[in-house]
Amino acid sequence: MTDGGHIGASPGGIGTRPDVLRIGNASGFYGDRFDALREMLTGGPLDVLTGDYLAELTMLILGRDRLKDPARGYARTFLRQLEDGLGLAAERGVRIVTNAGGLHPAGLADDIRELAARVGVPVRVAHVEGDDLLARGGWGEGVLTANAYLGGGGIAACLRAGAEVVVTGRVTDAALVSGAAAAHFGWRPDDWDRLAGAVIAGHVLECGAQATGGNYSFFGAHDLRRPGFPLAEIADDGSSVITKHPDTGGAVTTGTVTAQLLYETTGARYPGPDVTARLDTVRLAPDGPDRVRIEGVRGEPPPPTVKVGLTRLGGWRNEVTFVLTGLDVDLKADLVRTQMEAAFAASGRRPAEVRWQLARTDHPDAATEEEASALLRLVVRDAGQEAVGRVVSGAAVELALASYPGFHVTAPPGKGSPYGVFEAAYVPAGDVPHTAVLADGRRVEIPPPGTTREPAPAPEPPLPAPLPPGGATRRAPLGLVAGARSGDKGGAANVGVWARTDEGWRWLAHALTVEKFRQLLPETRDLPVERHVLPRLRALNFVVEGLLGEGVAAQARFDPQAKAVGEWLRSRHMDIPEVLL
């Protein structure tokens, strides 16, 4: 132990080296690998260990927990991880920063103190609050949670005052890293470039193993049986090196880092409560095995407003998947649709929203029954449980002996379950309280940014020179020459696509237009689609508004978080120059 039996260096200092701060990540979501916290603490040197537990869906889950018990509302998994992790952090002088506090950071901080006393590890615990704006009101009917996305100022204040564990509620995911870096290096609130560099590093770390080969298009080149979690070596100028502990699985390459940089982003400007980072200024370069350097990041003043994530219970949903085997699949699907619609009409209580989706997963002359079968998915939503429960399940069950030949379903229909809706609101930054509650109980108010600027669309950068015309082409999957990473942003989806080579970029930048994107992904044809060009990453980022309906909690589509839209795009065929293949 150091510092009189407490974790970490002397109050105000963090790292053992003043020139670099080693920040690791041990969680990308609530439910991530439980042992990751121990693995990161024991796998190699660290100064700070972060954990991201919050997502849009998580806030809804925690909101429902809080309804059942006001003392709940935080990520309880984190407390269990600390049962042995707290002692390990003490031995190694590692400070811990996490947003696992969710809707009740003060409650989690108190429970950590109780745990520390029980396991005999003295620890200074601080927390950040002010993000919970539910009591402010005016959010509309049925809102369950209303939380502003705070920046890293509160985290920095807690660490500068000597905190060894900092618990927050809703902060931006990257703030866990940028706040720690600002505390260590003493950055000012207007050190835009430094802050932007740390935000970019934080964005790479925030989703855990996605930066070390997880969910990576070209996964076959790496051992992914148990990928390690990432860490960043951050320098005073805001540059960083992304790496991982030695002898851990996965890989850190310019490709894995590019994929994560494109995840859940939109245009060239990446706005946050502390700084607007310019994604179009990011430069990546190999820095040795499993090491990628990030430099050149420019920052601008943050916007004058702060995003507030709202969740509410939207109603009830249910689904039934009918299995259609063998011949006449379309006729069988038409029959069951007609029968179910007739049952809805007879009940007088047709669900408010009824969606049918036929997935032709069947193969002709199949060697197994499963390969001979298609899936017809019925999804219903309504404000009342009866309309999605008894009405739907009763109608489906009654068809068991009176419908198409081979009738069966993948699972017995249930009573329905509640679904949530995510919305984003924006309030002036000065209207959001931001308070660091230090380990000794003192409260430090974090002022809003002194300078703000409304982010304007970045000018369209020049495209690279196209490949020489007239070359031979071959019809092939796009994924042979390009990687992709997709995700959710409320009701929108983003699909980042990058070329693996300069020549591939010269082709991709001209070939994959918005029109071509819509053609390849017919589900996007009637939706607004924006294309953003990021030449330094050899990447295009497409944002599709409305693809996810009311957000992931609403489960509006087969892939409610758009996790696989990028891989769908890569599987689509285009006329690709043979020189690239």
The two tokens of residue 148 are 């502003």
Residue 4 scores a pLDDT above 90: no
Please give the pLDDT value at position 550.
Answer: 78
Where do the H-state alpha helices sit in 219-299? 254-262
Asked if 86 and 57 count as a contact pair (C-beta separation under 8 A), the reply is: no
Please give the pLDDT value at position 549.
Answer: 83
Q: Sorting pLDDT into bands at 50, 70 and 90, what band is 553?
A: low
Render pLDDT for 173-195 as a digit per residue (tens, 0 to 9): 999 999 999 999 999 999 999 99
Query: From the CB of residue 564, how many other CB atoms can be counted at a distance below 10 Å?
Result: 15
Residue 8 scores a pLDDT above 90: no
Query: Greatest CA separation found in the chain?
Result: 76
Which residues fall within 8 angstroms of residue 481, CB to CB, at 6 or more apart? 499, 500, 501, 504, 507, 508, 576, 580, 581
Mean of pLDDT over the chain: 94
Q: In whole angstroms, what is the distance from residue 60 CA to residue 468 CA?
A: 52
DSSP lists the bridge partners of residue 203 as none
310-415: CATH, from 3.30.70.380, 3.30.70.1140, 3.30.460.20, 3.30.413.10: 3.30.70.380
Mean predicted confidence (pLDDT) in 14-25: 87
From the CA atom positions of the chain, what is the Rg in Å? 25
Q: In whole angstroms, what is the distance from residue 578 CA to residue 567 CA?
A: 22
| CB neighbour burial string for 231-259, b if at least 16 within 10 angstroms, e if fewer | bbbbbbebbbbbbbbeebbbbbbbbbbbb
Where do the H-state alpha helices sit in 192-241? 192-205
Residue 369 scores a pLDDT above 70: yes
Residue 9 scores a pLDDT above 70: no
Residue 375 scores a pLDDT above 90: yes
Residue 141 scores a pLDDT above 90: no
In order of 129, 172, 271, 431, 496, the CA distances from 434 in angstroms are 6, 13, 18, 10, 33
In the chain, where the domains are located: 20-303+424-445, 310-415, 473-580
Residue 6 scores a pLDDT above 60: no
Q: Is 451 exposed, middle or buried (0-12, 13-18, 19+ CB in 10 A)?
A: exposed
Residue 10 scores a pLDDT above 60: no
Render pLDDT for 470-503 as a digit per residue (tens, 0 to 9): 999 999 999 999 999 999 988 899 999 999 999 9
Residue 12 scores a pLDDT above 90: no
Residue 232 scores a pLDDT above 90: yes
Please give the pLDDT value at position 227.
Answer: 97
Asked if 233 and 240 count as a contact pair (C-beta separation under 8 A), the reply is: yes
Mean predicted confidence (pLDDT) in 236-241: 98
Please give the pLDDT value at position 128.
Answer: 98
Please give the pLDDT value at position 483.
Answer: 98
Please give the pLDDT value at position 7.
Answer: 47
Render pLDDT for 250-287 as a digit per residue (tens, 0 to 9): 999 999 999 999 999 999 999 999 999 999 999 999 99
Please give the pLDDT value at position 85.
Answer: 96
The two tokens of residue 441 are 């109980």
Report CA torsion sign: 541, 546, 550, 554.
Answer: negative
% of the chain exceeding 70 in pLDDT: 97
Please give the pLDDT value at position 13.
Answer: 63
% of the chain exceeding 90 in pLDDT: 89
Render pLDDT for 53-85 as a digit per residue (tens, 0 to 9): 999 889 999 999 999 998 899 999 999 999 999
Render pLDDT for 496-546 as a digit per residue (tens, 0 to 9): 999 999 999 999 999 999 999 999 999 999 999 999 999 999 999 999 999
Residue 201 scores a pLDDT above 50: yes
Mean predicted confidence (pLDDT) in 360-382: 96
Please give the pLDDT value at position 563.
Answer: 95
pTM for this predicted structure: 0.93
Torsion from C-alpha of 554, 556, 562, 564, nearest 10 degrees: 130
